[in-house]
Amino acid sequence: MSKYNAGIYYPKVKNVEWQSDELVELKLLNSQEENIKYVAAGDQTVWFIHPQIINYIKNAGLHKTFDSNKVGWGWDFVVSISSYLLGMGAIRDSNHIVEHSASRTYDNTLADKGWRDTFSRLPAEMQYYINLIYKKENLDPIAKMLPPNKTHRKASGNL
């Protein structure tokens, strides 16, 4: 992960259309390998998280915003945005694919209620960046949180 200055590594996960490359890929950033994409967030089925991000979440008290969120919706957003706030990206590797179940075994209404409560308790800056993803808006502000680095700039991108 250090090669990409990444705080989060995700494999590609099938059947999670809310985290598809088309919705979350950061087009201003690139990698030297075709299989690696910088993403604003990825599915939390399988991931590797840099210890600095875990410590940040704990020290900032962000884990407490999930107290009433029993299903855990939103961890993917909070962890990914925390990584970018710390100047580290989130990468997805399409050489490794996880097959996510096509259906859920939990109550979507309960999950959504828990996520809305969590979101309302997050700091405004984090809400802003998560809303860019959630509302399918321009993700360039997330890409621009990374410090300038030749290994992840697009040739035409001005970061």
Q: Per-block average pLDDT, block size 10, for the chain (159 residues)?
A: 86 65 77 87 82 96 95 92 94 81 79 94 96 86 81 45
| Per-residue model confidence (pLDDT) at position 16 | 61
pLDDT in the model for residue 55? 97
Q: In this predicted structure, what is the pLDDT of residue 78?
A: 95
Is residue 31 exposed (0-12), middle (13-18) or buried (19+ Cβ within 10 Å)?
A: middle
Three-state DSSP at 66 gives helix
Q: What is the pLDDT of residue 53?
A: 96
User: Per this entry, what is the length of the chain?
Assistant: 159
Tokens 């990825």 identify what position? 42
Sequence-ordered list of residues with C-beta below 8 angstroms from that of 123, at least 6 positions apart, any chain: 60
pTM of this prediction? Answer: 0.85
Look-up of token digits 């996880």: 98
Counting Cα atoms < 13 Å in the Cβ hemisphere of 141 gives 12
pLDDT at residue number 19: 58
The type of residue at 102 is A
Report which of 126, 159, 145, 120 is spatially closest to residue 7, judged by C-alpha positions: 145
| DSSP H or E stretch at residue 124 | helix 124-134
Domain ranges in the chain are 2-145
